[in-house]
Amino acid sequence: MTARFFRSLFWGILLASVVAWLYAGTVSAGYRETILIEDRVEGLQDRIIAPGETSFVPSLAVPNRIRLHRIQLQPRFLKFPWVYQFPAGQLLGLDDSFAVQVDAHYRYSIQADHVRNLFLSLPVADWSQLKPYLDLRMRSFWAQKMRELAPNEAALNGLENRLNEYVRQELRSELNAYFSGEGIQFDQIYVERIYVPDAARYNATLQAGQNLLDNRLERISIIDQARAKKQASQILNEVYLDRLEKMAALMRRYPELRDYAAIDSLSDKVRVLVMPYEQYLRGNRDHSQPAATGQPDPEKNPPVEPYDFTTIDGPEQAEPVRQPQMNDRSTFPGLRNTNPAEGNGG
């Protein structure tokens, strides 16, 4: 009894696995689409699933092995605005009002037997790159055609009529011949706008081309000067910030400078004179006390000489600190330096 149960369980699991495998590997294409099969190991397969067909792909049971590309064959639409600027207009930097423009919507379809070749023509193996590819091909087509219809600016007269006639009669057939290798068939072309600049206005603008070039060069010069001023301002700001960083480092090294610091100069190096404020005032009070009080004079403490903290970039750039002369005026009022030579002589 137990053996029969396990045999039944085994065959049941096996049958369920086969059914799941068949279900996972079955792929159906819609009546307007075809499916390309890309194997991540073997590459793009030759066979495709035609519209309305159902096929079995065994490798779909392997996770991340098969990638399906569903491609809608018809109807497809492409909006392509074409703008053509003559070489002289490009040199002068004229806007699109001096350019030939053709705005149209193109309805097209893709032949199922050419889908694989079209997919391999894309720059990246991704069907989303179809529109950029078609835009590139359309630009190439229209550039070649415009060189035939209007080789230079003298062909502007009557160009609008020639373009309208070409779009109505020959454009669709020439596009189908141009895209025949990719299997693209254009069914209908809906022209939204055809614009040709006025020939007299265009020629007058070309005659004033030297003035336009001079004005453009002047604008470029002004922009370059503004950029140079901006860069110079940035350099000055960097130098100023570097000085502030040096001063901040000095303040961190000598916290007493927060109360008793006076900056004499700030250039490549920072020079600071420090004067203890309490001793300076006490010395002045001792000198200013009247002698009529009858009390002995307190011990006079001479003003403390200022401390000179000098920060330089390196020991080889160090300079001897010069003591101020008698006629030099210190940062602090009333402070005078005594000449050692005179003191010894006295």
- pLDDT tens profile 195-221: 999 888 888 888 777 777 778 778 888
User: What is the spatial distance between Cα 150 and Cα 95, in angstroms, rounded to a whole number?
Assistant: 19
Residue 46 corresponds to which amino acid?
D
pLDDT(117) > 80: yes
**Bigger pLDDT: 78 or 17?**
78
Residue 151: what pLDDT?
86
Tokens of 56: 């079995």
> Which pLDDT tens digit goes with each residue over 136-169?
999 999 999 998 888 888 888 889 999 999 999 9
Which band of pLDDT confidence, cut at 50, 70 and 90, is reported for residue 78?
very high
Average pLDDT of the residues in 78-93: 86
DSSP sequence for 176-194: HHHTGGGTEEEEEEEEEEE
pLDDT(224) > 70: yes
Average pLDDT of the residues in 252-265: 60
pLDDT(249) > 50: yes
User: 């003003």: which residue's tokens?
Assistant: 303
Residue 136: what pLDDT?
93
Residue 256: what pLDDT?
66
What's phi and psi for 256, nearest 5 deg?
Answer: -65, -15
User: What is the spatial distance between Cα 69 and Cα 64, in angstroms, rounded to a whole number?
Assistant: 14
Q: What percent of the chain has pLDDT over 70?
A: 73
Alpha-helical regions (H) of 254-346:
257-260, 277-288, 340-345
For the full predicted model, state whether its pTM sits above 0.75: no
> Which pLDDT tens digit goes with each residue over 39-54?
887 777 778 888 878 8
Q: Could you tell me the residue ranges of all domains in the chain?
A: 10-72, 76-207, 209-253, 254-290+299-338
User: What is the spatial distance between Cα 177 and Cα 194, in angstroms, rounded to a whole number?
Assistant: 23
Average pLDDT of the residues in 305-311: 47
Residue 185: what pLDDT?
92
Answer for the pair 307, 273: CB distance below 8 angstroms, yes or no.
yes
Overall CATH class of domain 76-207: alpha beta
Which band of pLDDT confidence, cut at 50, 70 and 90, is reported for residue 194?
very high
Which band of pLDDT confidence, cut at 50, 70 and 90, is reported for residue 339?
very low
Window from 3-17, 71-85, 262-276, 327-341 with minimum mean pLDDT: 327-341
Cβ-proximal residues to 71 (8 Å cutoff; 6+ apart), any chain: 33, 34, 35, 36, 110, 115, 119, 127
